[in-house]
Structure 1
Amino acid sequence: MPRDAYGASMGVGRILQVGTLDDAVEYVLALPASMQKAPVWNQLLSHCAQKGKAQKAEQFWAMMRKKGVLPTERTFSHLMTALSKCDSPDLVTRAEEWMKRIEDYDVKPNVHHMNILLGIYHRKDLPDKVIDTLNLMKEKQMHPDRFSYTLAFYSCPKMVKRNGIDEVRRLWSEIEQRLEPTNPSVRINSSLARKAAAIATTEDAIRTPVEPFKIDSKVVCAFLFGLTRTARQDNDIWLGLNAIDRLYSLRPAKVEEMMVTFKGFRDLPRGELGYEPTIEVLDAILRFCGGLGQFKLASDYYYLTLKNYRKLEPDQRVYESMSWIERENKKSRPRKPFRL
């Protein structure tokens, strides 16, 4: 017999590794009431979450409540994860009900709970709800993470209630305010970074400190996808070119020339953040430029990236993108979508 609830929880975990779920349930129900705490039941719920057994998880939840076991943040994480893996027609309604229950039990929702809800909205093709939830996170003084922003950027082109490009710009601005270099000792001196620093000193920022943010390839790919699908004018494509330059220090000669005359981009330093592009990012850059009719620029980025980052090895997807770009680049066009 374990000495406490922690030991009992470890026992449940071991049973689930070598036995069955029924064996673990039998073990839990045989424990003294003093040991049937949330960590013990959370082991059962965790198993349901891993296996996508939402109905079973809800049965365990009912048993917990009947025994007066108080839930924790992890309890609701497991319940919502299990739910997110099922294909119920009322999935969204049930997920929203669980979010309400979290607060009903005086448990503070966390980023993980909100991300599960975001994933459900994204899966059910509810882009406006994705953005609404992201905004709610900030109202509750939560800091959206890489997963949150990735889903948000993919949702922007599909929104009904909002202008997609405005949302892409707003979301990227939020990320820029939080971006930190890969090397913390690197000082950021660009005009955009100085503006972000000024924003961080406002009264609102003092109340809600800006949490540092290290970007990954999934966020960058989602950002470039969202921007490609929503860009409407020359100024929009510059948002992407500037991001690529800041993150990866990639500035083709054509962009260098255009920056001399393009208002607002004259004093930008080369990439001060020190990130390295992945193959996925390279493909996203190619599709971003190609999707906006800038096939020559896409080709320039391709060769510059491989020159500056020699360890990168193009995969089949990149080769397919370049094949498309080269075909399109040979065609004559009376007018490009963007006059860069």
Structure 2
Amino acid sequence: MNSWAKQCLVSNLQIIESRTFPTFLRQQHAAVQLRRNLCIATHKITPRSLDHSPCQSLILSRSAASNAQPHCYTNTRSFSSSSKKIVADDQKQKPKKRQTWSRRKFVNIEAAETRPNKHLYTMPRDAYGASDRVKELLRVSKLSDSIEFVNCLPARLQSTVVWNQLLGYCAQHGRSTAAKTIFAKMRKHGLEPTDTTLTYMISTFGKSTSADAVAQAEAWFNSIKFYGMEPSPYHVTALLQVYQKAHDNNKALNLIDEILGDGSYPADAATYTTAFQVCGALKEDRAIQYVRNLWSKLMKQQPHYLQQTQLSGLALKAAYISEQEDALKVKAQQENLKIDNGIVVSFLNALGRTARTKEDVWFGVDAIDRLYFLRVPEGNKLARRFGQDVRQDRPATMTPLVDSPNVAALNAILIFCMYRRQYEMGDQYYHAFFKRFPHLQPDDRLDSLHQRIKDELERVEKQKA
């Protein structure tokens, strides 16, 4: 082949190589064909090199065109002829590793990057993120780590809600000393306490083993007005629970007197539940009077209280006027207090432990009738004894005070009957309860209690025989 033909082959080869290679398969095929012609023309490449891949063949062709030795390209990667993916080494780009932790900003805490669970020490975006971060830190780490994290947050992320999370943890575990430290740090950040803050501070001393826990709880309760607030039901309940845990019955009863008084100390469902628990633990004769007074005050706050009474029109009107006068003394948060199953359980347990006479038993039977519209034959016997109405069912127009009873309420009713040795009444309540509320299913505890009542009935019948 003359020099002109050789020059044409080399120029065509360079044109093909100048394009993006290996983008199209036809360019690869054309390059291989040109390489074969060039090898034959120059006689500088052995036929064995024709078995190389297209990429290496082009490199060898270029070396032949420039009178270079092909063995100088020893670093060229070899490709199998059956490979479907032909990519040159210089076109392969290794993926860059994403360096995430080095780009994240950590809270200004010493060695935050090397701590366990270091992702929890990164800077939150907002106060909500900081709250979620504190919740997770309290779960997987120590309280001191959570306090350090919150204390080092910038001013834009500081909020009372985040600090209240730490105080709530202290209240749950009785960490009164840590709670006072947290409160002091919160005040240094210029944050004002809320109702929840002071509630946690009072509740912290409920599980505290300190000798002056009651005195410190009272001090925090008295500081409520100092911070421009009024005692709420949460504060009253927290203080009452401190008295209950400390077995300080006198102070607990004095606080209950304030609740029963002019309404200066408001109460909610939790307050009444705790008050009934305190009264049920008393072994004094006056305990039953406290139970009955609490229940009477609670009933006056119910919207259906007057509708369930069997009074004449004139008496009902007089009762309505008296009820309106009492309502003026009750604050807004106490009005129409909804009775839940927790209140019922604590009330019946307290009444069963403190009842002394048949009249006290009738008080409980009448309360059950008002709560669930349940009146059993043994209850009607007590009604005749005390000159009350005898009935089986309430009118359809009247609604019970508890809309959704549960098995725990029936369990409390049976315990009340067991305390007062009214075994036949307890068996009747068991069947009447499931007849009125068929959607409920008894649990093992309730079945065991019912079996005890039936055993006691058999024992009493044998004694009579």
TM-score normalised per structure 2: 0.61
Alignment of 1:274-293 (within 5 A): 274=400, 275=402, 276-293=404-421
* 8 Å contact from structure 1 (residues 295, 325) kept in 2: yes
1:132 paired to 2:250: no
Residue by residue over 1:275-308, the C-alpha shift from the partner in whole angstroms, topping out at 9 and shown as x without a partner, is 3432111111111112112111111111111222
SS across alignment from 2:446: helix
1:111 corresponds, among 212, 233, 242, to 233
User: Larger relative contact order (C-alpha < 8 A, sep ≥ 6)?
Assistant: 1
Give the structure 2 partner of residue 4 of structure 1: none
Match of 2:180 in 1: 58
Letter aligned with residue 455 of structure 2: R
Count the aligned residue pairs.
Answer: 325
Please report how far the alpha carbon of residue 196 of structure 1 lies from its aligned counterpart in structure 2 after TM superposition: 6.0
In 2, distance between residues paired with 1:312 and 1:30? Answer: 51
Greater mean alpha carbon deviation, residues 99-108 or residues 19-28: 19-28
- Match among 78, 81, 90 for residue 200 of structure 2: 78
Q: Which residue in the other structure is 2:355 paired with? A: 231
> Which residue in the other structure is 2:383 paired with?
259
- For residues 325 and 10 of structure 1, the distance between their equivalents in structure 2, rounded to whole angstroms, comes to 53
Whether the 8 Å contact between 2:362 and 2:379 is mirrored in structure 1 is no
The answer to whether residue 290 in structure 2 is matched with residue 172 in structure 1 is no
2:440 aligned with 1:322: no
Greater Rg over alpha carbons, structure: 2
Structure 2 gaps, min length 5: 1-104, 106-124
CA–CA distance in 2 between the matches of 1:172 and 1:22? 46
Q: 1:188 aligns with which of 307, 318, 321?
A: 307
Structure 1 residues 322 and 150: CA distance shift in structure 2, 3 A: same
Aligned-partner residue type, residue 147 of structure 1: A
Q: Counterpart of 1:307 in structure 2: which amino acid?
A: K
The alignment-based identity, stated in percent, is 30
Answering whether residue 264 of structure 2 is matched by residue 146 of structure 1, we say no
TM-fit CA distance, 1:103: 2.6
Comparing 297-306 with 324-333, which one deviates more in the overlay? 324-333
Query: Which deviates more, 217-226 or 85-94?
Result: 85-94
The alpha-carbon distance between structure 1 residues 43 and 148, as it changes in their structure 2 partners (threshold 3 A), is: closer
Letter aligned with residue 374 of structure 2: L
Pairwise CA RMSD of aligned residues? Answer: 3.5
Displacement of 1:268 = 10
* Matched residue SS, 1:201: helix
Bigger shift: 64-73 or 85-94?
A: 64-73
C-alpha displacement of 1:258: 4.5
Mapped contact 2:362–2:382 kept (Cα < 8 A): no
Residues in 2 aligned to 1:41 and 1:215: alpha-carbon distance in whole angstroms: 33
Give the distance between the partners of 1:268 and 1:49, measured in 2 at CA: 48
- Opposite residue 176 of structure 1, the aligned amino acid is M
How many Å separate the matches in 2 of 1:201 and 1:267?
29
Equivalent position SS for 1:179:
coil
2:320 to 177, 197, 212: 197
Query: What per-residue deviation string (whole Å, max 9, x for no partner) do you get for residues 246-270 of structure 1?
Result: 1111111232355345324468972
Which of 288, 313, 334 is the aligned partner of 2:441? 313
CA contact (8 A) 1:191 1:268 kept: no
Contact residue 176 and residue 196 of structure 1 kept, 8 A = no
Gaps of 5+ in 1: 2-6
Change in Cα spacing, 1:263 to 1:103, as seen in structure 2 (3 Å) is same
d(CA) in 1 for partners of 2:285, 2:419: 22
Displacement of 1:23 in angstroms is 6.1
Tell me by how many angstroms 1:10 deviates: 3.3
Distance in 2 (alpha carbons) for counterparts of 1:109 and 1:268: 44
Q: State how far apart, in whole Å, the 1-side matches of 2:329 and 2:376 are.
A: 41
TM-score, normalised via structure 1 length = 0.80
Contact 1:9/1:43, CA 8 A, preserved across alignment: no
Instruction: Please give the alpha-carbon distance, in whole angstroms, between the structure 2 residues aligned to 1:167 and 1:335.
Output: 36
Instruction: Establish whether residue 295 from structure 1 lines up as the match of residue 449 from structure 2.
Output: no
Counterpart CA distance in 1 for 2:159 and 2:420 is 57
Higher mean displacement: 140-149 or 304-313: 140-149
Answer yes or no: is the 8 Å Cα contact 1:12–1:43 preserved in 2.
no
